[in-house]
Amino acid sequence: MRVKITVDGKSYEVEQGDNLLRACLSNGLDLPYFCWHPILGSVGSCRQCAVKSYQDDDDTEGKIVMACMESSNEGCRISIDDPEAKRFRAQIIEWLMINHPHDCAVCDEGGECHLQDMTVMTGHDSRRYRFTKSTHRNQDLGPFINHEMNRCITCYRCVRYYRDYAGGKDLDAFGVHDRMYFGRQEDGTLESPFSGNLVEVCPTGVFTDKTFKQHYTRKWDLQSTPSVCVHCSLGCNTILGERYGGLRRVLNRYNADVNGYLICDRGRFGYGFVNSDQRISEAGVRIADGCTLESIDSDVAVRRFTSLIKNKESLIGIGSPRASLEANFALRQLVGKENFYSGASAQEFELVATVVDAMRNGSTQTPSLRQIESADAVLLLGEDPTASAPLLSLALRQSTRQQSILEAAKAGIPMWQDAAVRGLAQDSHGPLFIATPAATALDDIASETVRAAPDDVARLGLAVAHELDPKAPRVVKLGARLKLAKRIAAALLAAEQPLVVAGTASGSKAVIQAAAAVATALGVARAKAAAPWLFLTLPECNSMGLALLNAKPLAEIKQQPKGRGGSVIVLENNLYRRAKAEQVDALLDGKTLVVLDHVQHPTVDRARLVLPAATFAETSGTLVNNEGRAQEFHTAVMPTGAIRPSHGWLLSGLTACRPDEKHALSLEDLRAACAAEFPELASTWLSDESPTLRYAKEKVPRASFRASGRTAMHANVSVHEPTPPEDPDSALAFSMEGFRDPDAQLIPSYWAPGWNSVQALSKFQFEVGGPMRGGKPGVRLIQPCKDAPPSYPDEIPAAFAAREGEWLLLPLSRVFGGEELSSMDPAIQVRTSQAQLLLHEDDGLSLGLSEGDIVEIQSEVGSFSLPVAMRKNVCRGVAMLPLDTPGVGFLQLPLYASIRRVSG
């Protein structure tokens, strides 16, 4: 309910019960604060947001209260400008600054520092304290985060985020008084895969981005571009910062429906591949000896390319789940739809198709990532989202608080009263049931965990579905798990908003179908209540987009007319990650291979013609995330030299090779053609965010008001300043001039007068933590079929039985090192642990193994060696093999293999 409050004589409408600080900020008022954060709530510890509160209209004295700890009620009257309140706030800042070092010039936070902003806002401009400052030793916190403890103002935001919100264990507050210390118990890498958010959560420069430090640039000098993360299927929104033609850093970009205020470390620090010297920067043609790649000019490359694609009949195009929708569609246009194949592996193709089928033909609702936080009972099947889709894990962690938040609401405690809500909850966590083959990072907050092979996970899921809806197939011989299934069913049924989570990382179609069955059965059991939620993860950033383009599976290529000749065009894809080497070799044998990509890999090494493609940071395009949300990313760095966007190469080839037909010439044409061919995708580009869009005839500037160095940065090359590059594909300009408005569809970075830090974000939202005033949350392309009759899988997988002397190899996702592009980043590489084969401890002992022994894993597809890790928390009879293990090559898992000790 909305109520009216009075602030300094003016009336504002705010949400009843909201804290006054958030209410003031939501109404655009400037009120300094430190310890409060939209996702962390209020604890009232910093005393910075003091305001004068009056009892009624007759009260002339008033009293000082902390705005973040007071509820807004009808008729509430406060003053921010009251002299006493102002003096109080100035004093607080002065105290906070007593030990603050004289560091701004050498501090990475300088220029985007909440402490700087608040100090200026309160008017504290000269130091009166003349005594000594306390100092602290720093810690080495690993490759991502730089620690400079002297700068701390003890607001506690870091530990409240890291421990309370993200569930980290290895960062804490130590000591008291001037000895307050925020760090680890000893030096060492921060273990949480969400540690990077400390950079944005910390209001000063204690925690800063270590990768950014290597090519440091002030915020005001970065040209910022709205983008979408490419390192998993969730499609978190990011801001890319460019300077001197290089990608300098990745920041979170707020999307009220997807990632909110946070991104994971893979998304934040995995950008190194863009600046890598391993990039393919020139077009190359393989000369006669078959080994050497000779650099050729772009025009020559286009001519070569054209000559290779002349004959449309003998063309094969292989798309990619990590390339944009437009690039994939351009390839499809070039080779024709009958010759366009998905670049996903056979298994991935099938799993993604299962997911799309469940989302499109099922009656269950797919929640947005942000909505997941409000689910109050969760069943997680088959995979550890912390590794396969990290931010999902963070959202699930919040969902386990949902019941305690509802409890607190009953007790009259608002959700923002963070300490009180957590105090009431103690260690209780809402229902979260986890059934996976190995331990997950969410086990610590799970109600119950079950370690089972994928088939058993699917059986458990189907048993839950049967408990909820007797029409679902009955699973027999479930044993003790039948009781568990009953408990899960009861918990899901009792919840206001239950959620079922699964995904392709389990490598099991049965698990995905079982998850869909649970959600369907829940829908039947809950009848008229809100549709249950089903959230399914996918392997890559555009797996969904590629599926929506109806690409044929790779396996069908065999049906192509035999014989030599013809070309295979591979778009941003390493086929050796998608199929066995022999299969790829057979596929490419006798064909001319053209590869468009930006990084070196074995498929590039085989190519006759290599065309240097732009990365996601150097072109515009669209990605469709796992919930079917199409989101656009934009050019952050202008490609240099011969590098062109993939769709650019494909379109110039198409135009040159078939000049008499009408072809798309630009990204916009391509989108129009794509929308015409796939009506489902049309809504993606319907908004007025077209590249030709101008706000009052102006583009949106990427650079800040105070961007510097324009007349000097290129002066070593020429003293005549070059014209800024034109970006024909978006309504963004490489300039500091143009249209800036919080209501614009494109918001490249957050800044408002007096607010230089990321906290300026509140000026861009309707209300703090709510939807953006401008920006674009993306377009949901897939709607569930509401009236679909409940359907369940016909087959129930047989129970898994451990084999004697053989182990079922299962895929193990890894947050660092388990994804192709981020694995090339030097900082991510430091964080990547050595690949180990994970076994149950007793299984290992039965093999006579001890931790760290090298074992040979032998299967019908060959053998390889790995060190072994033995844990209690693994299903018996299976062995977990990290994805993308170097030296292992492609393996179609699950697969039975024997394990033999090689050496200790």
Partner 1 sequence: MGDEDSKATAMISILHSLWRVLRHTFDRRVTVQYPEERRVMAPRTRGRIVLTLDPDGGERCVGCYLCAAACPVDCIALQATEDETGRRSAEWFRINFSRCIFCGYCEEACPTYAIQLTPDIELGEYHRPNLVYEKEHLLISGPGKYPGYNYYHVAGLSIGGKDKGEAAAERPPVDVRTLLP
Footprint of partner 1 (CB under 8 A): 101-106, 110-111, 130-138, 148, 150-151, 174-175, 177-179, 181, 213, 215-218, 220-221, 244, 706-713, 715-716, 718-719
For 370-415, the three-class secondary structure string (H helix, E strand, C coil) is CHHHHCCEEEEECCCHHHHCHHHHHHHHHHCCHHHHHHHHHCCCCC
**Whole-number Å distance between alpha carbons of 171 and 522:** 39
Considering the complex, what minimum distance in angstroms separates the CB of residue 160 from partner 1? 19
Handedness of CA 89, 70, 759, 83 (dihedral sign): negative
Between 62 and 111, CB nearer to partner 1: 111
Q: 645: Cβ–Cβ under 8 A, 6 or more apart, which residues?
A: 327, 613, 614, 618, 619, 620, 621, 639, 667
**The residue to which tokens 């004295």 are assigned:** 61
Q: Are 414 and 398 in contact (CB under 8 A)?
A: no
Considering the complex, what minimum distance in angstroms separates the CB of residue 133 from partner 1? 5
> What is the rounded radius of gyration, in angstroms, for the C-alpha atoms of the chain?
28
Q: Are 42 and 53 in contact (CB under 8 A)?
A: no
Considering the complex, what minimum distance in angstroms separates the CB of residue 238 from partner 1? 23
Cβ neighbours around 858 below 10 Å, total? 15
For every residue of 617-637, DSSP letters joined together read TSS-EEEE-TTSEEEEE--SS
Considering the complex, what minimum distance in angstroms separates the CB of residue 136 from partner 1? 6
Handedness of CA 40, 813, 232, 488 (dihedral sign): negative
**Whole-number Å distance between alpha carbons of 303 and 822:** 33
For every residue of 165-219, DSSP letters joined together read IT--SS-EEE--GGG-EEE-SSS-----TTGGGHHHHSSSSSEEEHHHHTT---G
Q: What token pair was written down for 220?
A: 């005001």
Q: Distance between alpha carbon 292 and the CA centroid of its chain, in Å?
A: 38
**The residue to which tokens 């600054």 are assigned:** 97
The CA distances from residue 52 to 22, 58, 345, 347, in Å, are 16, 14, 64, 63
**Whole-number Å distance between alpha carbons of 564 and 860:** 30
Considering the complex, what minimum distance in angstroms separates the CB of residue 124 from partner 1? 18
**Whole-number Å distance between alpha carbons of 89 and 120:** 12
Q: What token pair was written down for 722?
A: 């070059």
Q: Distance between alpha carbon 198 and the CA centroid of its chain, in Å?
A: 16
Instruction: Report the run of H or E that residue 610 belongs to, with start and end.
Output: strand 609-612
**The residue to which tokens 């699950």 are assigned:** 894
Strand 621-624's sheet: what is its strand order? 621-624, 629-633, 779-780
Cis preceding linkage at 894, omega within 30: yes
Q: What token pair was written down for 420?
A: 């009180």
Considering the complex, what minimum distance in angstroms separates the CB of residue 689 from partner 1? 30
**Whole-number Å distance between alpha carbons of 149 and 137:** 7
Q: Are 112 and 757 in contact (CB under 8 A)?
A: yes
Considering the complex, what minimum distance in angstroms separates the CB of residue 108 from partner 1? 9
Considering the complex, what minimum distance in angstroms separates the CB of residue 828 from partner 1? 21
Closest C-alpha to 454, from 695, 799, 791: 799
Between 709 and 770, CB nearer to partner 1: 709
Considering the complex, what minimum distance in angstroms separates the CB of residue 209 from partner 1? 13
Considering the complex, what minimum distance in angstroms separates the CB of residue 112 from partner 1? 12
Instruction: Report the run of H or E that residue 79 belongs to, with start and end.
Output: strand 77-79
**The residue to which tokens 């000097």 are assigned:** 712
Considering the complex, what minimum distance in angstroms separates the CB of residue 178 from partner 1? 7
Q: Apex CA 158: angle with CA 19 and CA 96, to 5°?
A: 75
Three-state DSSP state, 859? strand
Considering the complex, what minimum distance in angstroms separates the CB of residue 614 from partner 1? 24
Between 140 and 884, CB nearer to partner 1: 140
Q: Max CA-CA distance within the chain?
A: 94
Three-state DSSP state, 763? helix
Three-state DSSP state, 66? strand
Handedness of CA 796, 481, 358, 527 (dihedral sign): positive
Q: What token pair was written down for 803?
A: 């084999």
**Whole-number Å distance between alpha carbons of 741 and 556:** 50
